[in-house]
Chains A and B, each alone.
Chain A
Amino acid sequence: MIDDQHDEVLQGLAEAYHPPPPTPREQIWARIQAARAVPDAEPQVLPFRPGIGSPRSAVARALTWVTGVAALVATGIGLGRLIPIAGVPSPAAVTADAGATPDRVANVMGMAVRHYLSRTETLLVGVRSGDDADAFAGLARDLLGMTRLLLDSESLTDPATRTLLEDLELVLAQLVVLPSTSNPDQERSLITASLADRNVMDRLRTAIPSPLGSAPAVYGEL
């Protein structure tokens, strides 16, 4: 009863939450037209696919395929572990299955994050050890796309992981454009210094749990 009364109050107050003024239609339209009139006017959205034609882009594409397949396999393994294989599941399994959807999502999300973090760690180790910038730009681009997908996911609720991913997003964006910068060596030094300043590698390794452990619940709530 009290809840109903509160709901009525909520309904009445909801309209007062950030009440919008009239839409500045002409102003926004003018800005859209101006932005579209300039080449590459879209907000700096980095292309997710490697360029076509260069010899190294073939390597990057191959890496993309390999990592994509690996992600698929990881997801399949995860679902396989979660879904009973036997033809007739036990009553307990049925009960657990019926109510476990959020857990299943959490586990798959946990695996995706672990897989992503492991690949990112491998990449960053290569960066620090001086690998050729062109060689990892494609992988950085793919990981950048994955970063944005993960950050856009509501299932990723752990603030620490989100903060880490936001830092990694910036690093990966820098790595994507590194080969095209005028002084890649200097840029790489800045990136490496930034990694050290923000303690990224240690946080990254801390965030990668043991493969034998279960997925942390923090990825869970939908």
Chain B
Amino acid sequence: MDQLELIGRVRAGDPEAERQLYDAHVDRVYRLAYRMTGDPDRSADCTQDTFIRVFKHLDGFRGEAALSTWITSIAISVIYNGQRKMKRLRERETELDEAAAVATSTRASDPDLKDCLTSAVDALPDGYRTVFVMHDVEGYTHQEIGSALGIQEGTSKAQLSRARAKLRHALAAFAGD
């Protein structure tokens, strides 16, 4: 069954087609949610909300982008909304542009390089972190990222470059360069 036929059947209310669509895309959504949140419960919540919205709004899918890209864009929106709520709950005023400083301070308490990188990535501004996770971690292309986030490919490349620069700085500080 090709994608158009599958979408048509889902729109017609075929539960088997809904499950097929879900199976085809759920891993990608869950992986991205987990990479972005680092939390199994929040990742499951995001995945659930994403597919509820997908099924509800599939009639509005025009086919300008690939279905996977459209689903990813919904997932990103859901993830961002979840992160905003978490930030509000924690009342955490994180300075968005202090990746290096956070990474450096982490070094003193935890000398593990992977933990250093995790802290540095966590401290990246949301846009940089999203592009870094999607491209360098999950293997999305800049074209896919641009479509999913509603930005130009060049912007995606620029944000990745800046994210890497910040992470390099953090790693250099950790390594004592």
Within 8 A of B (CB), among A1-55: 2-3, 6-7, 9-11, 13-18, 20-21, 23-25, 27-29, 31-32, 35-36, 41-43
In the bound complex, do residue B137 and residue A14 qualify as a contact, i.e. CB atoms below 8 Å apart? yes
Of B77, B93, B164, B172, chain A has the most CB atoms within 10 Å of the CB of B164
In the bound complex, do residue A41 and residue B52 qualify as a contact, i.e. CB atoms below 8 Å apart? yes
State the main secondary structure of chain A at its contact with B: helix
Task: Judge if A157 is at the interface, Cβ distance under 8 Å.
Answer: yes
In the complex the two chains form, what is the Cα distance from A143 to B62 in whole Å? 27
Task: Judge if B9 is at the interface, Cβ distance under 8 Å.
Answer: no
A31: chain B residues at CB < 8 Å are 44, 48
In the bound complex, do residue A25 and residue B23 qualify as a contact, i.e. CB atoms below 8 Å apart? yes
Q: How far is the CB of A199 from chain B (nearest CB, A)?
A: 15
CB < 8 Å neighbour of B77 from A25, A41, A152, A159: A152
Task: Judge if A222 is at the interface, Cβ distance under 8 Å.
Answer: yes
In the bound complex, do residue B168 and residue A23 qualify as a contact, i.e. CB atoms below 8 Å apart? no
In the complex the two chains form, what is the Cα distance from A20 to B44 in whole Å? 11
CB < 8 Å neighbour of B121 from A15, A17, A36: A17
CB < 8 Å neighbour of B117 from A3, A17, A20: A17
Q: How large is the interface on A (under 10, 10 to 19, 20 to 34, 35 or more residues)?
A: 35 or more
A23: chain B residues at CB < 8 Å are 26-27, 30-31, 47
Q: How large is the interface on B (under 10, 10 to 19, 20 to 34, 35 or more residues)?
A: 35 or more
Considering only CB atoms, which chain A residue lies closest to B85 in the complex?
A166
Q: How far is the CB of A150 from chain B (nearest CB, A)?
A: 12
List the one stretch of B34-42, B63-71, B102-110 in contact with chain A.
B34-42
Considering only CB atoms, which chain A residue lies closest to B113 in the complex?
A13
CB < 8 Å neighbour of A24 from B44, B88, B118, B137: B44
CB < 8 Å neighbour of B51 from A18, A32, A154, A166: A32
A152: chain B residues at CB < 8 Å are 77, 80-81
> Contact residues of A with B, CB < 8 Å?
2-3, 6-7, 9-11, 13-18, 20-21, 23-25, 27-29, 31-32, 35-36, 41-43, 151-152, 154, 157, 159, 163, 166, 222
> Could you write out 17 A-B pairs with CB less than 8 Å apart?
A2-B172, A2-B177, A10-B164, A14-B117, A14-B137, A17-B117, A18-B118, A20-B31, A32-B55, A36-B52, A42-B52, A43-B49, A151-B84, A152-B80, A154-B127, A157-B96, A222-B158
